[in-house]
Amino acid sequence: MKKTTAASRRAKNKDTDKDAVVVSLRADAQGRVSPQLINAATRHFDLEAVTKLVLQRMAIRTTQGIGACVNLEELDLTDNVVDTLVDLSEVKGLKKLVLTQNKLASLDALSTGTWPAIEHVFVQANAIATVDALCIPSLARLGTLKSLYLKNVDGSQPNPVCKLHGDKYRDAALRALPALRNLDGERLRDIRLANERAAQAAAYNQAARDEAHYSSSSSGRSWMSFPDVDDGAGFRGAAEALKALLGETRALLLADDDS
């Protein structure tokens, strides 16, 4: 009969402990986060001492239970199956929320909940399909929001809305979220500046086309035409010609008075 040594018993117990940790680092049968899961992930037994919580790939379906970490500042739930955000109303100091690769179909919880400190939201690779589901006008109430990621800067991990309504959701975000600094990894300051320059260039080109059309459609001089205008000198020439004409008219009137 094979004897069991102390070393083999310790090795067996160690493997058993590893298996127990792996089992404990998963959500419960309902996909909820238990205090034991948080304890195991953070090695904190006092949940109020937890300020950063990383729970990746743990079959989590709901954020129920995380609200016990009332002093939480960062929450990372990457690669789970979260489809709703609940039980976070007491987490007043949450600044960074990472929900990349989950099952969220809208951001209504962000738009209707209380998030007084939220600065960065990552929701790449979710199921957000429409601009309405982004609740962008309501997100404008999040005065501290600086970054919003619906896809990565290289275009990877997009939500369906990024493919279906890319320009529309970006324009809506630019209009409704003036405090936002970063959208999908791009600095909005640069995007807004580029848009302003494009608008100015479009206005200039339209004015040039209008002037060219006027010049080409004019045949001869009308009684109110000025040389500088017809020669393409623009409004400055027109103003100078008008000034000269008024001067001549005034001189004639004075001459009539003297006579």
The pLDDT tens digits for 153-171 are 999 999 999 999 988 998 8
What mean pLDDT is predicted for residues 251-258? 60
Mean pLDDT of the chain: 80
Rounded mean pLDDT of 192-204? 64
First to last CA, the chain: 144
State the Cα–Cα distance between residues 40 and 34, nearest whole angstrom.
Answer: 10
| pLDDT over 70 (residue 237) | no
Q: Is 171 exposed, middle or buried (0-12, 13-18, 19+ CB in 10 A)?
A: middle
Quote the pLDDT of residue 197.
63
The β-bridge partners of 85 are none
**pLDDT at res. 19:** 36
**Which of 30-34, 135-139, 183-187, 221-225 is predicted least confidently?**
221-225
pLDDT at residue 128 tops 90: yes
Every domain of the chain and the residues it spans: 31-193, 222-259
**pLDDT of amino acid 228:** 46
**What's the pLDDT at 23?**
41
| Apex 223 CA angle, 217 and 226, nearest 5 | 70
Q: Sorting pLDDT into bands at 50, 70 and 90, what band is 258? A: low
**pLDDT of res. 76:** 97
> 52 by DSSP, 3-state: which?
strand
Instruction: Report the pLDDT averaged over residues 102-111.
Output: 92
CATH of range 31-193; options 3.90.76.10, 3.80.10.10, 3.40.50.880, 3.90.330.10: 3.80.10.10
Indicate the range of 12-21, 106-115, 198-207, 231-240 predicted with least confidence. Answer: 12-21
pLDDT band at 178 (very low <50, low <70, confident <90, very high): confident
In this prediction, residue 190 carries a pLDDT of: 60
Rounded to an integer, the average pLDDT of 54-73 is 95
Angle between helices 166-176 and 188-217 (to 10 degrees): 100
